[in-house]
Amino acid sequence: MPFPIRRAALRELLRAADLDALLVTDLVNVRYLTGFTGSNAALLVHVDGDAGSRFGTDGRYRLQAGAQAPDLEPIIERACAPALTADAAERRVRRLGFESDAVTVDAHAVLVDAAPGARLERAPGLVQRLRRVKDAEEIAAVRAACAAADAALADLLAAGGLRAGRTEREVALDLENRMRAHGAAGPAFETILAAGANSAVPHHRPTDVPLCRGDLVKIDFGALVDGYHSDMTRMFALGPAAAWQRELYDLVASAQAAGRAALAAGTPVREVDAAAREVIVAAGHGERFPHGLGHGVGLQIHEAPALSVAGTGELAADMVVTVEPGVYLAGRGGVRIEDTLVVRVDGPDPLTRSARALVEV
């Protein structure tokens, strides 16, 4: 099980921050550290080890907690975060960190009242810092999610599901159901299926507008497997692609290739963004690439690191990120090409395998 290893890594961060314990209330972080998937939980990670740590949930999840987090002593209480805080104070935890980025002002007041003997210290982002680099189990889960999405897209195309006359909404739902048929719990996010001029809207939501011959079609989608997400964007032309469509596609494909080539451990994230962005800027379309190049993917569809102009830090081996440049021509159409990849020391390991070429259907 990877969870004790992850909690041990978190303790190193607690020691560096001079904290006796950390109260984890973000459910994504609770899952990362314990494997628990219920809707009400909290975790107290003690700096001295799991013997002093506690897991909290309510009576609905007693059996689930025993199955998913059997190595932690449970506290069964509806208000589990205050209960863990009170338990920590009783055991003389003096400097108690809490996830200030996930706790409301009112919830913080409740925690303070529950532990009058402890000093609550803001400790945002500690678990997220660990989550940036994926372990083998996580990479395997993302790889499975990518495989489900790849298989669903192949099925959709083989069945003639992407064709003129169907609506954006129909095609999106068809694709999402095919991901489920290939083992996904569901889509990783609401599928972006945008045809014609709608493809120039970066995060267009599918409508009942029918697809038409001559349309450029953008499909941005992913699958959810074992709590982990995938993310991929592919482009299609309904019928022979027009010259301007192919020219725009070739530009974005060149930018995406440059971004993929820049993915290597130790590279500043801004340099990865710049490698792709410079290709688009040189073609005179810099203002039509309005978003970052990519983002981390894992238990959430958008995680650290951010590959963008404003991004900070460097890539590390075993980070899982997207590379997704786009150029959007308002009123005409847009192109985005996206893959999910694992950062390695000497370059990227692509997890999404569908062909990147502009497909004419």
Give the Cβ contact number of residue 226 at 10 Å. Answer: 16
Note whether 215 and 251 are same-domain residues: yes
| Residue 346: predicted pLDDT | 86
What is the Cα 211 distance to its own chain's centre? 29
| Residue 41: predicted pLDDT | 98
Note whether 160 and 127 are same-domain residues: no
Note whether 52 and 172 are same-domain residues: no
**pLDDT mean over 266-289:** 98
Q: Which amino acid is at 138?
A: E
Q: Residue 31: enclosing H or E segment and its boundaries? A: helix 27-34
| Residue 117: predicted pLDDT | 80
Task: pLDDT band for 1, please (50, 70, 90 cuts).
Answer: confident
For residue 342, pLDDT over 90 is answered with yes
**Residues contacting 109, CB < 8 A, separation 6+:** none
**pLDDT mean over 75-99:** 94
Query: Is pTM beyond 0.85 here?
Result: yes
Task: pLDDT band for 116, please (50, 70, 90 cuts).
Answer: confident
Note whether 126 and 207 are same-domain residues: no
Note whether 123 and 171 are same-domain residues: no
Note whether 169 and 307 are same-domain residues: yes
Q: Which amino acid is at 188?
A: A
Note whether 204 and 339 are same-domain residues: yes
How many structural domains is the chain composed of?
A: 2
Would strands 21-24 and 41-46 be described as parallel, antiparallel, or unpaired? antiparallel
Model confidence pLDDT, tens digit, residues 128-180: 999 999 999 999 999 999 999 999 999 999 999 999 999 999 999 999 999 99
Model confidence pLDDT, tens digit, residues 168-202: 999 999 999 999 999 999 999 999 999 999 999 99
The residue segments making up the domain with residue 123 are 3-131
d(CA 202, CA 333): 10
| Residue 195: predicted pLDDT | 98
Model confidence pLDDT, tens digit, residues 35-51: 999 999 999 999 999 99
